[in-house]
Amino acid sequence: MKKISTILTSLCITVTVMVAQPTPQPPNAGFENWTGSGATIEATNYHSNKSGTGWASLGGQTCFKETSGPHSGSFCARIETISSLGNAVNGSLTSGIVNAPTTNKADGYIGTMEGASGSTINRIAFNGRPDSLVGWYKYTQSTTATGTGGANEIGKVYAILHLGNYYDPSAASSYHPDSSINKVGEALFLTQASNVGAWTRFSVPFSYVSAVTPQYILLNCTSSNNQLTSVSGSKLWLDDIGVVYHVSSVGVNDQEVKDENLKVYTFDKIIYVDFMTRTEGLSSISIFDITGKLISKQQLHNNRLNSFSVSELGSGMYLYELSGNNFHKSGKLLIN
Residue 180's pLDDT is 94
Q: Assess whether 57 and 143 both reside in one domain.
A: yes
The answer to the question of residue 179 being in a domain is yes
pLDDT tens profile 139-171: 999 988 887 888 899 999 999 999 999 999 999
How many separate domains does the chain show?
2
pLDDT of the chain, 336 residues: tens digit per residue: 333 333 333 333 333 333 344 478 899 999 999 999 999 999 999 999 999 999 999 999 999 999 999 998 899 999 999 999 888 999 999 999 999 999 999 999 999 998 777 788 999 999 999 988 989 999 999 988 887 888 899 999 999 999 999 999 999 999 999 999 999 999 999 999 999 999 998 989 999 999 999 999 999 999 999 999 999 999 999 999 988 876 433 333 333 334 456 778 888 888 888 877 777 788 888 888 877 778 888 888 887 888 888 888 888 888 888 877 666 777 778 888
Q: Assess whether 253 and 239 both reside in one domain.
A: no
CATH number at residue 290: 2.60.40.3080
Question: What is the bridge-based pairing of β-strands 305-309 and 167-168?
Answer: unpaired
Looking at 220, 244, 268, the residue that finishes a domain is 244
The answer to the question of residue 1 being in a domain is no
The answer to the question of residue 6 being in a domain is no
* Cα distance between residue 97 and residue 112, in whole Å: 6
Q: Assess whether 100 and 172 both reside in one domain.
A: yes
Q: Assess whether 164 and 217 both reside in one domain.
A: yes
Looking at 215, 244, 273, the residue that finishes a domain is 244
User: What's the distance, CA 240 to chain centroid?
Assistant: 7
Q: Assess whether 230 and 269 both reside in one domain.
A: no
Residue 256's pLDDT is 35
The answer to the question of residue 21 being in a domain is no
Q: Assess whether 62 and 172 both reside in one domain.
A: yes
Task: Give strand pairing partners of 201.
Answer: 136
The answer to the question of residue 12 being in a domain is no
Would you say the pTM of this structure is higher than 0.85? no
- Cβ partners under 8 Å of residue 6, min gap 6: none
Residue 137's pLDDT is 96
The answer to the question of residue 84 being in a domain is yes
Looking at 202, 223, 244, the residue that finishes a domain is 244
Q: Assess whether 262 and 172 both reside in one domain.
A: no
Task: Give the structural domain span for 325.
Answer: 247-335
Q: Assess whether 110 and 134 both reside in one domain.
A: yes
The total of other beta-carbon atoms located within 10 Å of residue 300's CB is 20
The answer to the question of residue 26 being in a domain is no
Q: Assess whether 90 and 110 both reside in one domain.
A: yes
- Cβ partners under 8 Å of residue 76, min gap 6: 30, 31, 66, 70, 237, 238, 239
Residue 246's pLDDT is 65
Question: What is the bridge-based pairing of β-strands 97-100 and 53-54?
Answer: parallel
Residue 72's pLDDT is 87
CATH number at residue 91: 2.60.120.890
Of the candidates 95, 15, 86, 101, which has an alpha carbon nearest to the alpha carbon of residue 56?
101
**One-letter amino acid identity for 291?**
T
Of the candidates 113, 198, 204, 210, which has an alpha carbon nearest to the alpha carbon of residue 161?
210
**One-letter amino acid identity for 60?**
G
Q: Assess whether 240 and 251 both reside in one domain.
A: no
* C-beta separation of 310 from 296 below 8 A: yes
Q: Assess whether 135 and 197 both reside in one domain.
A: yes
Q: Which region holds residue 233: left if phi is over 0, alpha if psi is between -120 and 50, else beta?
A: left
The answer to the question of residue 143 being in a domain is yes
Q: Assess whether 154 and 54 both reside in one domain.
A: yes
Q: In whole angstroms, how far apart are CA 217 and each of 37, 129, 240?
A: 26, 10, 16
